Amino acid sequence: MSGLELENISMRFDLPNGSYVQALQDVSLKLEPGQLLSVLGPSGCGKSTLLNIVAGFLAPTGGRISLNGQAVRGPDAERGVVFQKGALFEWMNVRDNVSFGPRMAGQGAAQYGPKVDHLIDTVGLADFREKAIYELSGGMQQRVALARCLANDPDVILMDEPLGALDALTREKMQAMVLNLWKETGKTVILITHSVEEALLLGERLIVMAPRPGRIYREYQLPFADQGVGRDLREIKKLPDFAARREEILSMIWNMEEEIMGSQGAAA
């Protein structure tokens, strides 16, 4: 029993006015170790809710979730999270942020030092080890967040729009970095994104979710992530296959958004 397993996960938020939101309904998913899953879907379809459940921040109202056969009960070092922003500790410098996990586990500097320094080098921040967090740009901060997550050596890495706040160019560079790190480390990754391109480039598997109730709408197996390792991602984007998939998924999500807007328009 290895890997991440979600069985009929449901999440229902009761609202103060007596009604409720069915954020997720019967979401089932099995992720083998080392897989990278991209999650796409219109706004409000329950992507963040799903991720929060896997991370252990929320308990689902129905269903079971387990990692390597162990039920998930709360946040844990085996499931690392990279947030969109605001999760770094401003009162620590770059190195102390990256070494946070090992230090909390009681490791000494001699033990974690080489690994932490290597990770900081890998994300290209060798000259910024001693810098304060607020002295870094947004893209640099996200690289610190990534390195911090990796330094803890989790089995699963969960990312909720980790590159969402970055400019296009930085974002492209970071996509290549994520892809290479994923291949190097062989981690299981769940990546939530709003960018169809990013989902296609990075995801071995891709699920598209639909709202009301939040559920898995369509699932794909994709070749692009394997092709992209060590290559210029812009070449991948030019492939005819890639463009076709992108158009297909874009129009699917477009239609879903239309539907939501339409039904809201009709209700109003």
Ligand X SMILES: Nc1ncnc2c1ncn2[C@@H]1O[C@H](COP(=O)(O)OP(=O)(O)OP(=O)(O)O)[C@@H](O)[C@H]1O
Residues in touch with ligand X (CB under 6 A): 13, 21, 23, 41, 43-49, 214
CB of 123 to ligand X, least distance (A): 25
CB within 8 Å of 122: residues ≥ 6 apart: 147, 181
Phi (first) and psi of residue 66, to 5 degrees = -145, 150
By a kind-dependent CB cut-off of 5 to 8 A, residue 13 interacts, out of other proteins, ligand X, Mg ion, none, with ligand X
Residue with tokens 């160019």, as numbered in its chain:
169
Do residues 156 and 5 lie in contact, with contact meaning Cβ atoms separated by under 8 Å?
no
By a kind-dependent CB cut-off of 5 to 8 A, residue 240 interacts, out of other proteins, ligand X, Mg ion, none, with none
Q: How many other CB atoms are found less than 10 A from the CB of residue 260?
A: 17
By a kind-dependent CB cut-off of 5 to 8 A, residue 100 interacts, out of Mg ion, ligand X, other proteins, none, with other proteins
Pick the closer one to ligand X by CB: 221 or 264: 264
Binding span for Mg ion by CB under 5 A among 14-22, 40-48, 85-93, 180-188: 40-48
CB of 245 to other proteins, least distance (A): 32
Pick the closer one to Mg ion by CB: 48 or 170: 48
By a kind-dependent CB cut-off of 5 to 8 A, residue 265 interacts, out of Mg ion, other proteins, ligand X, none, with none
Phi (first) and psi of residue 210, to 5 degrees = -120, 150
Residues that bind other proteins (CB under 8 A): 55-57, 74-77, 79-81, 83, 85-91, 100-101, 104-105, 132-134, 148-149, 152, 154
By a kind-dependent CB cut-off of 5 to 8 A, residue 116 interacts, out of other proteins, Mg ion, ligand X, none, with none
By a kind-dependent CB cut-off of 5 to 8 A, residue 89 interacts, out of other proteins, Mg ion, ligand X, none, with other proteins
CA-CA-CA-CA torsion sign (28, 34, 35, 40): positive
Question: CA-CA distance, 126 to 120, in Å (whole number)?
Answer: 6
Pick the closer one to ligand X by CB: 45 or 144: 45
Using only the alpha carbons of the chain, give its radius of gyration: 19
Q: How many other CB atoms are found less than 10 A from the CB of residue 27?
A: 26
Question: CA-CA distance, 31 to 2, in Å (whole number)?
Answer: 9
By a kind-dependent CB cut-off of 5 to 8 A, residue 229 interacts, out of Mg ion, ligand X, other proteins, none, with none
By CB under 5 A, name the one of 8, 22, 48, 170 that touches Mg ion.
48
Pick the closer one to ligand X by CB: 48 or 66: 48
Question: CA-CA distance, 260 to 268, in Å (whole number)?
Answer: 12
Measured CA to CA in angstroms, residue 241 lies from 171, 197, 220 at distances of 22, 12, 13
84 is an interface residue for Mg ion by CB under 5 A: no
Do residues 46 and 9 lie in contact, with contact meaning Cβ atoms separated by under 8 Å?
no
Residues in the site for Mg ion, rule: CB under 5 A?
A: 48
